[in-house]
């Protein structure tokens, strides 16, 4: 079991993220605002995957499908002249949740490798579907000519405003995950992960609990997709690829599966390390690969568990 993570470290990390726009303004390096925006967006996607994988034992290898659905919901509506975020963002979350419900009704009847492969298959089906939709860009993707509009609330065309909206969504996703995990629903979900048959024997319909968690996870990842589309002002089929699903899974494992702040640390480490290693050499994956293997071998519980044990020894 991973030791209790010091709250001070989590608070310091969130405080650091809140101060990024100030540091960017003082250093006149606007690129880093976009970089940390991506960190937080993928952290939301990782939090959503951790909800079903870390607490429900559902190892999904097609989670990027929800990210892509959220992004394309914003892009497709924008291409038809619907730019209101009051419509785009709920549509992104609803479409992702409905896809999760429809596919979850099938995939949750399987376990283990079969579950992994079927989630991958559904994601690849969506990938090829959007690749073939020439009306929405096909292989070339879809460009957003304007970000989502929230009249009377805030203006996402301002990069700093967008950053803090993403930051607020990250806090909300962590808060929702915390409430779910520590509720009766979360206890049943964790119980089903440990022994599904025993939970059914004492009267809990575990299939419904898993399907609900799967839909919540999909909706949360759909929100991350909507944010990603606004941050990049573009959405393409690559966001649904199996490689993107693998990256999100690596973020969860790297940070600490089944922990509240682990996905955030995993996303931050993976994206920042990828960025700085890519600046050093075009063969940066040769360095990244062994580093991930070392973390998997020697950091039980990921970075979350590693820091917890280090502080515990002190």
- Over the chain (314 residues), the average pLDDT of each successive run of 10 is 59 91 88 93 96 92 94 95 94 97 93 91 93 89 92 91 96 95 93 90 92 96 96 93 92 88 91 86 81 75 69 54
Identify the pLDDT of residue 313: 54
Identify the pLDDT of residue 311: 57
Let me know: does 239 contact 225? Beta carbons within 8 Å: yes
Residue ranges of the domains in the chain? 7-313
Kindly report the number of other CB atoms within 10 A of residue 208's CB atom.
11
Sole residue written with tokens 């509506």 = 77
Identify the pLDDT of residue 186: 93
For the chain, how far is it from start to end, CA to CA, in angstroms? 19
Torsion 79-84-87-90 (CA) sign: positive
Give, in words, the CATH class of 7-313: mainly alpha
Let me know: does 109 contact 46? Beta carbons within 8 Å: no
């Amino acid at each position: 079991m991973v030791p209790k993570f010091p709250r001070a470290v989590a608070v310091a990390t969130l405080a650091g993220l809140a101060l990024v726009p100030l540091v960017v303004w003082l250093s006149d390096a606007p690129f880093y605002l976009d970089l940390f925006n991506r960190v937080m967006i993928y952290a939301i996607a990782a939090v959503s995957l951790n909800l079903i994988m870390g607490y429900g034992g559902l190892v999904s290898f097609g989670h990027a499908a929800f990210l892509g659905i959220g992004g394309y919901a914003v892009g497709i509506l924008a291409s038809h002249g619907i730019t209101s975020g009051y419509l785009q963002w709920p549509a992104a979350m609803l479409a992702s949740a409905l896809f999760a419900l429809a596919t979850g009704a099938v995939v949750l009847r399987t376990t283990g490798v079969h579950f992994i492969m079927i989630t991958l298959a559904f994601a690849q089906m969506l990938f090829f579907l959007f690749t073939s939709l020439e009306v929405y860009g096909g292989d070339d993707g879809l460009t957003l000519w304007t970000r989502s509009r929230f009249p009377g609330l805030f203006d996402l065309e301002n990069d700093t405003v967008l950053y803090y909206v993403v930051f607020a969504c990250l806090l909300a996703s962590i808060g929702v995950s915390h409430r779910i995990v520590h509720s009766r629903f979360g206890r049943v979900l964790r119980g089903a992960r440990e022994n599904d048959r025993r939970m059914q024997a004492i009267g809990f319909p575990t299939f419904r609990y898993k399907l609900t968690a799967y839909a919540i996870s999909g909706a949360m990842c759909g929100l991350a997709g909507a944010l990603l589309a606004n941050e990049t002002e573009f959405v393409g089929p690559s966001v649904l690829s199996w490689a993107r699903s693998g990256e999100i899974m690596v973020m969860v494992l790297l940070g600490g599966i089944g922990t509240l702040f682990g996905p955030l640390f995993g996303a931050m480490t993976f994206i920042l390390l990828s960025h700085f290693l890519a600046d050093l050499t075009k063969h940066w994956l040769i360095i990244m690969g062994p580093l991930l293997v070392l973390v998997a071998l020697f950091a039980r519980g990921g970075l979350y568990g590693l820091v917890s044990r280090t502080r515990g020894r002190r």
